[in-house]
Amino acid sequence: MLLQELVDMLSEKGHILEYRDKVWYLKGFYKSNEVKLTGMPEFGYVLATMRYGETEEIYNYDDLVRLNYRWWLGYRDRFSGWESPDKLFQEDMIRLKLVKQVTKWEPINGTR
C-alpha cells in the first residue's frame, strides 16, 4: 500500500493526522499518542515507527487496525481513558473480530 492511499483512507475515516517535517503522524496510539508513517514504495508497504523506535510493516489498513489493537491491549489497564479502544478504530476492531462491545447496566443512585 502506498502512503498516500493510507493517508487518504485514514482521513476519510476521520482519523487525526499531522504532517510535520515532511512526515505523516497518526494520532490515537494511547501512551505513545502517535505513530510515524513512512512510505516504502519500493517494498510495497508503509513503515509505522512507534514510541521507542519499534517498526512494523503496514501492507493495508487492517494491519494498522491490528497494530492499534495490540497497543490498546498493552495500555488499557494503565489509565481510565484507555479502557476502550480509540473511538476511530473501534468499528474496525469489531469488524475484524478483535473486540466486542459489552453494555453494562448500573443503577443511577445506587439504591434498590
The domain tally of the chain equals 1
pTM recorded for the entire structure? 0.82
**Residue numbers of the domain that contains 82:** 3-95
In a domain, 76, yes or no: yes
In a domain, 63, yes or no: yes
CA distance 110 to 89: 33
Number of H helices, E strands in the chain: 3, 5
44 phi and psi, to 5 degrees?
Answer: 80, 25
User: Per residue of the chain (112 residues), what is the pLDDT tens digit?
Assistant: 799 999 999 999 999 999 998 899 998 776 667 899 999 999 999 999 988 899 999 999 999 999 989 888 887 777 665 677 888 889 999 999 999 988 877 788 766 6
Which residue intervals of 1-112 are DSSP H helices? 3-12, 61-75, 87-95
In a domain, 39, yes or no: yes
CA distance 6 to 8: 5
In a domain, 109, yes or no: no
In a domain, 112, yes or no: no
CA distance 5 to 11: 10
The average confidence (pLDDT) of the chain is: 87
Q: On the CB side of 44, how many CA atoms lie within 13 Å of its CA? A: 1
In a domain, 16, yes or no: yes
